Amino acid sequence: MAAELPISQDLIDTHNAAHRDALEEDYDHLKRRLKRNGVDADAVKQRVKALELATPTWGAGVGGTRFAKFPIPGEPTNIDEKLEDCAVVQQIGRNTPRVSPHFPWDWTDDPAALKDKASTLGLGFDAVNSNTFQDQKNQTHSYRYGSLTHTDAATRAQAVEHNLDCIEMGRKLGSKALTVWIGDGTNFPGQQSFTKSFERYLDSAQQIYAALPGDWRMLIEHKMFEPAFYSTVISDWGSNLLAAQKLGPKAQCLVDLGHHAPNVNIEQIVARLDAAGKLGGFHFNDSKYGDDDLDSGSINPHQLFLVFNELVEAEARDPSGFNPAYMIDQSHNVTDPIESLLSSAEAIASCFARALAVNRDHLTAAQHDNDVMGAFQVLRRAYNFDVGPLVAMARVEAGGAADPIALYRQSEWRAIKAQQRARASGAAGIV
Ligand SMILES: [Mn+2]
């Protein structure tokens, strides 16, 4: 089926033509600077071009806090419209080729048609996400006291069944992974046995694992707190790793950057999970206080750079076993979600480019010699490069826009959609 991309290619071409001279000048300058650091800019550019981030369907809508949601005109209200908006992000940014659906929010009775629709828009499907952290309409058993870890066997069976349905739907959509995050936990000391609830988790997760197709992965997402505020069953990378090791090789750990205590050394967690062969993937976002779901790189781009520094090292250590799934997981309360996704995709690509600009030989030598300041300066030098022209050049060469947000605004996409789409509701709810 021929692609029907949402934004006019003429508009992108005209926009890029206006930027071409300045972009080439800036890129050539950066190329000379990187060369003096022993790094080949064109090689970095090729790696940046190959970077693929998934966009979550829920990230295409305006997010809510637990207090309120403020919809914007033209916001998508169904899976078809969400796909269209994700296609805009992909067409302009060129590094978000797959969409990660969430069930039951994106449930469809015609997965073949949905797959076709995505493919027409130039998109594929990434990991499917199950949801047992909310009760759905007509659900027999409530998840008020837990889902996969509930004390009641029938409630656990219902939660397992939902995950099996997600795998089946994902199979029809061309997905290769199931991401499982549960809200199970406690609000009071003594409410549950830490040991027994983890055992119940393993028992339920084993049943889901057994249903995975041969080439699938199960990505386990940990989170320190919320909605449970005293304890969470899969609270941290340690519990996550224990579960993934117990389940088997297809189970891996997913690191959501916002799901840790403030100031936790997430880059070290990345190194540990990789060493254990269990680094499954990421949910990229940023935070100031907790699971804030702020835009990637908006608060602490240096941390994001250090995470990518570990990823580049991990890949260099064992290229064959390195295959983490990257996804953006943010909540956009006060911006147009397309602009936030474009901004985040660029921030992530920039941190990847900076990590590739690290002179690895110099870093290794400084570490070996215990040249502390020398090692730090190797990282600092790479972090300080303005890699914007390289990331823009990679995007333009792949068919995207030199200045994504400017192009998006010029397209008037949201204003046009405001005329065509039904108005979103303002109901609140955490996701
Ligand atoms: Mn997440």
pLDDT in tens, 192-204: 999 999 999 999 9
What pLDDT digit, counting tens, does each position of 67-115 carry?
788 899 999 999 999 999 999 999 999 999 999 999 999 999 999 999 9
Distance 416 CA to ligand 1 centre (A): 31
The reported pLDDT for the residue numbered 431 is: 42
Q: Residue 309: CB partners within 8 Å, gap ≥ 6?
A: 267, 355, 358, 379
**Angle at 238 (CA atoms; ends 233, 241), nearest 5 degrees:** 95
Of 36, 147, 50, 154, give the one whose Cα is nearest residue 97. 50
- For the chain, percent of residues with pLDDT exceeding 70: 98
Distance, in Å, from the CA atom of 101 to the CA atom of 311, rounded to the nearest integer, reads 25
Query: Which residues, chain by chain, have CB under 5 Å from ion ligand 1?
Result: 256, 283, 329
For the cut 80, the answer to whether the pLDDT of residue 13 exceeds it is yes
DSSP assignment of 172-184 equals HHT--EEEE----
Distance 290 CA to ligand 1 centre (A): 12
Write down the pTM of the prediction.
Answer: 0.97
What pLDDT digit, counting tens, does each position of 389-416 carry?
999 999 999 999 999 999 999 999 999 9
Distance 277 CA to ligand 1 centre (A): 21
For the cut 60, the answer to whether the pLDDT of residue 301 exceeds it is yes
Q: Residue 247: CB partners within 8 Å, gap ≥ 6?
A: 202, 205, 206, 209, 218
Distance 284 CA to ligand 1 centre (A): 8
For the cut 50, the answer to whether the pLDDT of residue 430 exceeds it is no
Distance 387 CA to ligand 1 centre (A): 27
What pLDDT digit, counting tens, does each position of 214-256 carry?
999 999 999 999 999 999 999 999 999 999 999 999 999 999 9
In the structure, what pLDDT confidence band is assigned to residue 429 with cuts at 50, 70 and 90? very low
Distance 330 CA to ligand 1 centre (A): 8
Let me know how long the chain is: 431
For the cut 60, the answer to whether the pLDDT of residue 209 exceeds it is yes
Distance 96 CA to ligand 1 centre (A): 17
Distance 243 CA to ligand 1 centre (A): 18
Distance 60 CA to ligand 1 centre (A): 15
Distance 177 CA to ligand 1 centre (A): 14
Distance 139 CA to ligand 1 centre (A): 24
